Structure 1
Amino acid sequence: MFAAALIVFRESLEAALIISIMAAATRGIPSRGRWMLAGVLAGLCGATVVAAGMGAMSDMAEGMGQELFNAAILILAVGMLAWHNIWMSIHGREMAAKAQSAARSVKEGTREGSVIFLVIALAVLREGAETVLFLYSLATSSEDGLRTTIGGGLSGLAAGSLVGVLLYAGLLRIPLRWFFSITGVLVMLLAASMASQAARFLIQADLLPSYGAPLWDTSATLSQTSALGLLLHGLIGYEAQPAGMQIISYVMVLLAIAAGMYWAGSRKRREARQHTLADAH
């Protein structure tokens, strides 16, 4: 029961952190609740299908099916999170100030809604598929495995969800003038964390060099399996024993998103100045 609770807590915590940060970062976007719910449901359905076919996928990819699948999902999620942050760097402050017209807000919010849906669906899909596989192996490994696995799984899910709710509530207490900057940084760190995890899976599949594995080991100082280690892993991608390629991937994604946000923000400011000059004439 404890093993099931720990597995589900670990997997649900990562999904809960992504969902809570996305929920906070997209505050004010029309119909975001429906997009989020649809993403969760789609992710759960997809996780069930993927878990059922994981054996065949693994055989087709010479035993590396799960690693390749996880890497593909993570890379796609990184792209979605990058797009979200760049989009919000243009429209976030306008939404906060309610300076946009209602029609334009709904139109642009719908466009952003598809990104919300995809990010959450991919997060739930990846974590859900892993959870189903782990719980299935636990349930079939002992005579009374099913009952204890279900009980432990529900306990772990409740604990992971609680942490996500607490994070969301804490983010909503941030003053609005700092809100989009802080949530933007959190989304950027999430994307970099996912890029690092994708690199790890590709290293395991022998598709990327490791460039040192591990590059360092902080397990004695902060174990990745501890409560704080799990939380930091979900929030900022903490790895006690990272490979060099993971660090490179992490930093490259951070720099790429920051550059994209800077470019988009600069373009928006230039357009605003041009409109001001045109109005003055």
Structure 2
Amino acid sequence: MGNALFIVWRETVEAMLVVGILHSWLKQHGHGTGMRFLWGGVAVGVGLAILLAFAIVGIADVLTDTGLEYFQLGMVGVAAVLIVQMVFWMRAHGRKLKRELESSLAQAQQQANWWGMLVVVALAVARESSEAVVFLYGLGTGEGGNPLFWLMLPLGVLLAWGTFWLLQQSSRFLTWQRFFRISEVLLLLLAASLLVNACERAINLDLLPTLLDPVWDSSALLSDNGSVGGFLATFTGYRAQPALSVVLAYGVFWCSVLFGLRRQAR
């Protein structure tokens, strides 16, 4: 449940960042027409994400039990990859995002091409919303029937509004840079958890050998069925009795991510 809340919160804040930058620019330059296209782009982006959600649910409904297992495995894997891609993308474009968006708006103003701005907004919002749809499906394959899982959606949006307001106040306690750095770490932990989930699904489908199962048993110290261990299991991928192939995949994931981040920083 906490994972769903975090995903909705993080993705909504990022979408609000894009919309907020464009809204501030339009308000500063007094473009009432541009405002209408801005909100139109937001509506189109959300609509595209809703269509994606219906498409995913529709595909899942027509699959057989085995086919559904493969489909869910693929969605969990895609969600993990998208999370890592999002972290690297924001690191590469975060600092110049505001400048690029304002440049696009200025060009649209000069050419009187507000439809171009609508497309930019729609794609930006659709990107964040669609990522959230994929993440939530990957997280909710085992929790979709729990009503508390769906309660996380409005709670996440509400929390995002509060976070965005705090960030806009230029607080020394919560700056955009600090927000992205903290959320990056949490996102990567969540991606690692999804990777472990995908590996275990692949093992159940006989697509991945266990090699050695279990490698260790730390249930006496911290069981992944308890409250604390269960939280770590869902949010970080912790397992008290992991298979060797899962441990290797987990290690390769973090080595690859840390190497990529260091290389990107250079």
User: TM-score interval w.r.t. the shorter chain?
Assistant: 0.5 to 0.7
- Checking the alignment, whether the CA contact within 8 Å between 1:92 and 1:180 is kept in structure 2 is no
Letter in 1 for 2:86: H
Q: Which amino acid aligns with 1:92?
A: G
2-structure distance, mates of 1:17, 1:257:
21
What SS does the corresponding residue of 1:222 show, helix, strand or coil? Answer: coil
Distance 1:127 1:239 in 2: 17
Contact kept? 2:4, 2:136, Cα under 8 Å: yes
In the superposition, relative to structure 1, how do residues 19 and 209 fare at CA in structure 2: closer, same or farther (>3 Å)?
same
Deviation at 1:190, TM superposition (A): 1.8
Equivalent position of 2:34 in the other structure: none
How many Å apart are 1:84 and its aligned residue? 1.0
| Shift, 1:195, TM fit | 1.4
Instruction: State, as a whole percentage, how many aligned pairs show the same letter.
Output: 23
Q: Of residues 121, 136, 141 in structure 2, which corresponds to 1:124?
A: 136
CA contact (8 A) 2:140 2:149 kept: no
Whether contact under 8 Å (1:40, 1:124) holds in the other structure is: no
Match of 1:53 among 62, 74, 77: 62
* Match runs of 1:233-252 below 5 Å: 233-252=233-252
Contact preservation (8 Å) 1:47, 1:126: no
1:205 and 2:198 equivalent? no
| Cα distance in 1 between the residues matched to 2:15 and 2:91 | 12
For the residue of structure 2 that corresponds to 1:214, the secondary structure is coil
Shift in alpha-carbon separation, 1:162–1:205, aligned structure 2, 3 A: same
Equivalence for 1:196: 196
Give RMSD over aligned pairs.
Answer: 3.7
Structure 2 residue corresponding to 1:85, chosen from 84, 87, 91: 87
Amino acid in structure 2 at the alignment position of 1:15 = A
Q: Give me the whole-angstrom Cα distance separating, in 2, the residues matched to 1:217 and 1:20.
A: 35
For residues 70-129 of structure 1, the C-alpha deviation after alignment (integer angstroms, 9 at most, x for no partner) is 22112211221222111111122334xx44451348787766545423321112333445
Alignment partner, residue 94 of structure 1: 96
Q: Residues 205, 241 of structure 1: CA spacing in aligned structure 2 closer, same or farther, 3 A cutoff?
A: same
Kindly tell me the number of residue pairs found equivalent between the two proteins. Answer: 226
> One-letter code of the match for 1:154?
P
Distance 1:33 1:237, change over 3 A: farther
Cα contact 1:191–1:253 (8 A) shared by 2: no
| TM-score (norm. length: structure 1) | 0.62
Counterpart position of 2:170: none
How far off is 1:25 after superposition? 5.4
CA contact (8 A) 1:224 1:239 kept: yes
Question: 1:221 aligns to what SS in structure 2?
Answer: coil
1:34-73 residue pairs with structure 2 within 5 A?
41-42=50-51, 45-46=54-55, 48-54=57-63, 56-58=64-66, 65-73=67-75
Q: Are residues 165 and 219 of structure 1, via their aligned partners in 2, closer, same or farther at CA, if it must alter by over 3 Å? A: farther
SS at structure 2 position matched to 1:239: coil
Alignment CA distance shift 1:76-1:206 (3 Å): same
For structure 1, the residue ranges without an aligned partner over 5 or more in a row are 1-11, 59-64, 136-152, 267-281
Separation in structure 2 between the aligned mates of residue 229 and residue 37 of structure 1, nearest angstrom: 36
Q: Rate the CA distance shift 1:177–1:127 in 2: closer, same or farther, 3 A.
A: closer
Paired residue type of 1:21: R
Distance of aligned partners of 1:113 and 1:86 in 2 relative to their CA distance in 1, 3 Å threshold = farther
| Secondary structure of 2:17's aligned partner | coil
TM-score, normalising length: structure 2: 0.65
